[in-house]
Amino acid sequence: MEVKDSKIAIIGLGYVGLPLAVAFAQKYKVIGFDINTKRVQELLSGNDTTLEISDELLGSVLDNNNSKNSGLTLSTSDEILKDCNIYIITVPTPTDRYNRPVLTPMINASKQIAAFLKKDDIVIYESTVYPGVTEDEMVPILEAYSGLKYNKDFYCGYSPERINPGDKEHTVTKILKVTSGSNPKTAEIVDNLYKSIITAGTFKASSIKVAEAAKVIENSQRDINIAFVNELSKIFNLIGIDTQEVLQAAGTKWNFLNFKPGLVGGHCIGVDPYYLAQKAQEVGYHPEIILSGRRLNDSMGRYVATEVVKLMMRKDIKVIDSRVLILGFTFKEDCPDFRNTRIIDIYKELKSFEMNVDIYDPWINTFEVKNEYDIDVLIEQPEMSKYSAIILAVAHQKFSKIDIQSTKNSVVYDVKGILPKQNVDARL
């Protein structure tokens, strides 16, 4: 296959799939497929509610009539996939309530495209997985539902996503891309395909399993480092020194790793370590550092809530029936993404003390939060002075400008360390 002849199908049009589809659509014929009718309709109207793609850019690549030599055609009908020769799967890989990997979206996507696979087609997975998922678990599905043979009739690649939601500087084409293929020729085709749109360049891994492992350890490494500074924060709080000041001093050494304490949520860092742990346990090894880091990071929401209660008691502020405000609900600053947000842990712990808890986040879709968590998020910024405690949980730029001076009789806890130290009672 010549790369220039590629007709690409992107399966899944979320935070990963849409930016990739738009990037490819500027050079290739691209079919964007998603089972979410509401999502596809919103994109067809020229609007991306994830805010990853501007309306102007989205509008410039849309080809609703499927009539151009390049451009993006969107659909919820899988029949539109039948003429493609490269299928890129960008569906989520979550965990269940017991932190076990859930491969159902990948399995369903694989079954769906298998019905359309033809001789010499290539299936590329971008979803984050543990080593072996592509070849040991997805390929048998592709073979069974297509009747074709792997590495004889069709081929596979793996190129892990490196999307950073809300980051307008490190966009998909500006982040170096790891690529791989099921044989040397396929690896070359996959690498050349991505190289044609990734201005930052590519790195061709030696095998699909190596590429899968490289991705899953990226976020596991970050998770462990954040767990370390979160533990330091707990220690320094007991000693009576400011963690932010300690990190600032230590950061003057050229090789000190600049991680900050905080809540670890989102679709990657808080999830991916469990995928690596799953594979380790399958081969008879019980990971200690990886799971220890996860336990510590997952405890930070409850820790913050408990610290706020202690501060209220020290100020002789009534806890039961008090009013508390949480500023922020997304998993990171200045983006609307609240997948796997750990702010919910703060909320639930405060509610367990019979407090009245409000949440305000100017970035959030309040209807989506209501549907998922049954929480009514405030639409307008409330009056700060009416709360007994305020928790700045997310470092939205807007929050750094909030006037905290009117809250002198309240507890102010700054999880992200963005407010002046003298204006808060404590910070993580």
Amino acid identity at 7: K
Q: Residue 136 to residues 140, 188, 218, 402: CA-CA distances in angstroms?
A: 7, 22, 22, 52
Contacts of 56 (CB under 8 A, 6+ apart): none
Q: Give DSSP secondary structure letters for 30-92.
A: EEEE-S-HHHHHHHHTT--TTSSS-HHHHHHHB-TTS-SSSEEEEES-GGGGTT-SEEEE---
> What is the full DSSP assignment across 209-251?
HHHHHHHHHHHHHHHHHHHHHHHHHHHHHHHT--HHHHHHHHT
Q: What is the rounded CA–CA span in Å between residue 81 and residue 139?
A: 19
The helix/strand/coil state of 311 is helix
**Active-site residue flag, 84:** no
> How far apart, in whole angstroms, are the C-alpha atoms of residue 273 and residue 267?
11
Catalytic residue among 84, 156, 268, 335: 268
- Residue 161, classed as helix, strand or coil, is coil
**SS3 call for 334:** coil
Name which of 355, 346, 345, 349 is nearest 324 in CA terms. Answer: 355
Determine the residue type at 319: V
Report, as residue numbers or ranges, the catalytic residues: 268
